[in-house]
Chains A and B, each alone.
Chain A
Amino acid sequence: MANAIIEFKSVTKQYDNDPPVLDDVSFEIERGKFYTLLGPSGCGKTTILRLIAGFTEASDGEIYFNNKITNHVPANKRQVNTVFQDYALFPHLNVFENVAFGLRIKKMKNAEIEQKVKEALSFVNLEGYENREIREMSGGQRQRVAIARAIVNEPEVILLDEPLSALDLKLRTEMQYELRELQRRLGITFIFVTHDQEEALAMSDEIFVINKGKIQQSGTPTDIYDEPINRFVADFIGESNIVTGKMVQDQLVEMVGKRFECVDGGFQSNEPVEIVIRPEDLEITTVERGKLQVKVDSQLFRGVHYEISSYDQDGNEWLVHSTKKAVVGEEIGLYFDPEAIHVMRFNETEEEFDKRLEAYTDGSGHGK
Chain B
Amino acid sequence: MSIKREKFIRLTLTYLVILVMFAIILYPLAWIVGSSFNPGQSLSGSSIIPKNATLAHYKELFDLNQSAYLHWYWNSLKVSVATMLLTVILVSFTAYSFSRYRFVGRKNGLLTFLVLQMIPNFAALIAIFILAMMTKLIDTHLGLILVYAGGQIPMNTWLMKGYLDTIPKELDESAKMDGAGHLRIFFQIVMPLATPIISVVALFSFIAPFADFIIASILLRTEKKYTLAVGLYDMVAKQFGAEFTTFAAGAVLIAVPIAILFLSFQRYFVSGLTAGGTKG
Contact = CB atoms under 8 A, between A and B. Distances in A.
Interface of A: 53, 55, 75-77, 80-82, 84-86, 88-92, 101-102, 105-106, 134-135, 142, 149-150, 153
A112 to B, nearest CB: 16
B177 A135 contact: no
B280 A91 contact: yes
A102 B168 CA distance: 19
A188 to B, nearest CB: 14
A135 B173 contact: no
B175 interface: yes
A81 B171 contact: no
Interface string B167-185: 0101101111111110010
B279 A101 contact: no
Interface in B170-212: 170-171, 173-181, 184, 189, 192-193
B177 A81 contact: yes
Contacts, number: 64
Given A90-B189, A135-B280, A105 B178 contact: yes
Interface residues of B, number: 19
Contacts of A91: 193, 279-280
Contacts of A135: 278, 280
A82 to B, nearest CB: 5
Interface in B139-189: 168, 170-171, 173-181, 184, 189
A75 B193 contact: no
Contacts of A150: 177
A153 B180 CA distance: 12
Contacts of A153: 177-179
A150 B177 CA distance: 9
Contacts of B193: 90-92
B177 A53 contact: yes
A105 to B, nearest CB: 5
A86 B174 contact: no
Of B175, B176, B280, most A-chain CB atoms within 10 Å: B280
A153 to B, nearest CB: 6
A337 to B, nearest CB: 49
B174 A84 contact: yes
Contacts of A76: 176-181
Given A91-B193, A134-B280, A82 B180 contact: no
Contact of A88 (B174, B181, B192): B174
Given A82-B173, A92-B192, A105-B184, A149 B280 contact: no
B280 A75 contact: no
Contact of A75 (B176, B184, B189): B176
Given A105-B178, A153-B178, A84 B192 contact: no
B168 A80 contact: no
B73 to A, nearest CB: 36
A86 B189 contact: no
14 contacts: A55-B176, A75-B173, A75-B176, A76-B176, A81-B177, A81-B178, A82-B177, A88-B168, A89-B280, A90-B174, A92-B192, A105-B184, A134-B280, A153-B179
A70 to B, nearest CB: 15
A81 B177 CA distance: 6
A194 B278 CA distance: 25
Given A90-B193, A101-B180, A105-B180, 9 more contacts: A55-B176, A76-B177, A84-B173, A85-B170, A89-B280, A90-B171, A90-B175, A101-B178, A153-B178
B179 A86 contact: no
A84 B170 contact: yes
A84 B178 CA distance: 13
A329 to B, nearest CB: 52
A110 B279 CA distance: 29
A203 B82 CA distance: 59
B177 A75 contact: yes
Interface in B54-111: none
B77 to A, nearest CB: 31
B41 to A, nearest CB: 54
Closest 10 CB pairs of A and B: A102-B178, A91-B280, A88-B170, A88-B174, A134-B280, A105-B179, A92-B192, A84-B170, A75-B176, A76-B179
